[in-house]
Structures are given as structure tokens and as C-alpha cells.
Amino acid sequence: MLNYRQNLQVTCRHTGNSPTCTGRFREVLNNEGGGVALVIVIWIIVVLIAIVGEFSYSMRTEINIARNFKEEEEAYQLALAGIEQAKLELVSAKTNAAVYFDEEKMLAFGDLNEEKEKLERKGSLGNGSFNYTIIDEDGKLNINTESLERLKYVFVDTGIDITEVDTIVDSVIDWRDPDDLHMLNGAEEDYYRSLDKPYSCKDGPMDALDELLLVKGMKKEYLYGSKGEDEGAGEEKTYEGVEKYFAVYNTNGININTASRAVLEAVFGTDAANNIMTQREAGPINMPMFNGKIFSEIFTIVSTGTVADGTIKRTIRAVMRKKDRELETLYWNDNVI
């Protein structure tokens, strides 16, 4: 079947190139040319819409990235503000001032009988806020120097099975000592090199408590703690976590005002620990006893900055050693997850 254009061409051939026929043929050609132009214009519009849409999406993405970067930087600066306020609190305390827990279970500094203004450990700046905590490292055991017996006592006290504790503690000793001799249940270079992802046994002191996770037998729940719901039904067991009992710093003695019961029992024995805890219930101890101390030198500061609606946060963890009115930074992590 012939289309209209073909029919017109045939008709014109039979009737001759009359003005009427020629005009009608040109009209058809013009109309068809206009249709092609319309299709081309439509395609150009479609392509332009796609380009504009992609450009708009790209710009929105760039804007969101820039805003997130700006808010993350603001949160970081707020966390830094918390660190600085905590440092001010530390250096404002008198040299060898008593360190203890106040009635709100917050770490406090200074003369026990002195009336002093309580400093809020939080603040607001611009569109954000910060809060921080100060942790006394002198109330903890040094994981790098403590005896096997004291290490075992604390690990067992946090809920870890004794058979696993034997492996962990022996492996801690092997990890920190300079030789390659195995403890009975420990591990040295040959064990760590045989793992799917091998690494070396340090044979030296730990620089951060997280290194415990590299030691044979250690698990995250043992270090940080976990909450089981129903042990009888085969659910996960509850572990208190050893993180709050150990440090990697030389603290030159235990602060009897801030040490936990488990640490006091491990160091001084059950009877002395009971005596200390009883006295602490009546108020902070103001005189050293049982070879313990009431002042501290090393503190951990954990500061979190929050921007606007609270969706953007940055946390900084720093460890400071106080000497007279000066602070030395022993550890700094400004990307705490």
C-alpha cells in the first residue's frame, strides 16, 4: 500500500507537473520536514533535562558533602573545647590534691574539707554542645607490670571462665615479656604467625589497652563487657569487661578513693578492701592507708562534641599526666568510634 507522499508522486506523474500538483507536493515535503524538526527538538529537550537533572543531583551531593564536612569540623572543635575545659579543671586542682568520687559519683579534686564551686562537665557553643568525663587511671592495675595472680583475680571477677582466664593471662605475660618462652597456656611468635591473618607477638609493653584484643583467647566482650539476657536458655553470658580495671601507665600506686572493689581486693586483700569500701561510704578517705594513696597523676579525658540536632558527633579520647601545674599528653585519639 502506498503512502500519501507516494500516491501524490504517482498522481503527479500521470497528470503532469501542474502548478497545483507541484504545490501540494511541496506542502507535503514541508510538513514532513517540520515533523522531523519537532522530533529533533523534543530529543534535545529530553537530553537537556537529563543533563540538568544530573547536574542538579551532583550539586546537591556536593552541598551535602560540604555541609557534613562543616558540621563534622564543628563537632570536632566542640570536642576540643571539652578537652580544654577538662585540662583547665585538672591544672586548677592543687598539686597532690586528693582525688575522689563526690556524692554524685563524679571524679572530684582538692581539699576534702574545702568548699568549692562545682564545674559543669558540659557546655554550649554556637549551634552545638560538648560534654566530657574524667577517668582516674591511678585507680587501675597496670596491665604491663601486674603479677599473674592479680591479673587472674580481676579477669575471673568480671565473669570469664577460669579455663579461659588461664589462657588469656598466660598469653598476656608472653605478649609483654621480651623472651620467646611459652607460659603453660600462653602463646608466642609461632602461634600468632600460624593464624589466618598472621602478626607478630609484641614481646614488649602494651601502648594501649586495645592491644589486649590481639592476645590469644581475648574477645571484645571480655574487654568492653556485654549484657546477656538469659544464660540458662543458652543466651550470651554477661561479662563486666576488664577495660575499667586496667591501664597501660605507671601510676606509682593505687588510689584507694577511686579504685574498684575488684582492684582493691586484688592488691590489698578482701579484708582491707572491705575496710576501705566501708570508709568510702562515709566519705572520701583523707589519709593514705594500706600502702595506697589518695592523689592521682594520670587521667583519661573523653570529650564528645555534638552539632545542632545531634546527628553529627565527634569524640576525642586523651590521656594526660599531671605534674605540678603542667599536663603531658600520653595518648591522643581524635577519631573514637
Model-level pTM? Answer: 0.76
Residue 233: what pLDDT? 47
pLDDT tens for 62-118 read: 877 777 778 888 999 999 999 999 999 998 887 667 888 876 778 888 765 555 555
pLDDT band, very low/low/confident/very high, at 224 (cuts 50, 70, 90): very high
Q: What are the pLDDT digits (tens) for 152-206?
A: 999 999 999 999 999 999 999 999 999 999 999 999 999 999 999 999 999 999 9
Cα R_g (the chain), whole angstroms? 37
Residues of the chain with pLDDT > 70, as a percent, come to 83
pLDDT in tens, 40-63: 888 888 888 888 888 888 888 887
pLDDT band, residue 25 (cuts 50/70/90): very low
In degrees, rounded to 5, the angle at the alpha carbon of residue 147 between the alpha carbons of residues 244 and 184 is 110
Domain ranges of the chain: 4-60, 141-250
320 beta partners: 299, 329
Cell numbers given for 173:
605475660
pLDDT, averaged across the chain: 84
Q: Please name every residue paired with 41 in a beta bridge, in sequence order, or none if there are none.
A: none
Name the CATH superfamily, with its identifier, for domain 141-250: EpsJ-like (1.10.40.60)
- Give pLDDT, residue 42: 85
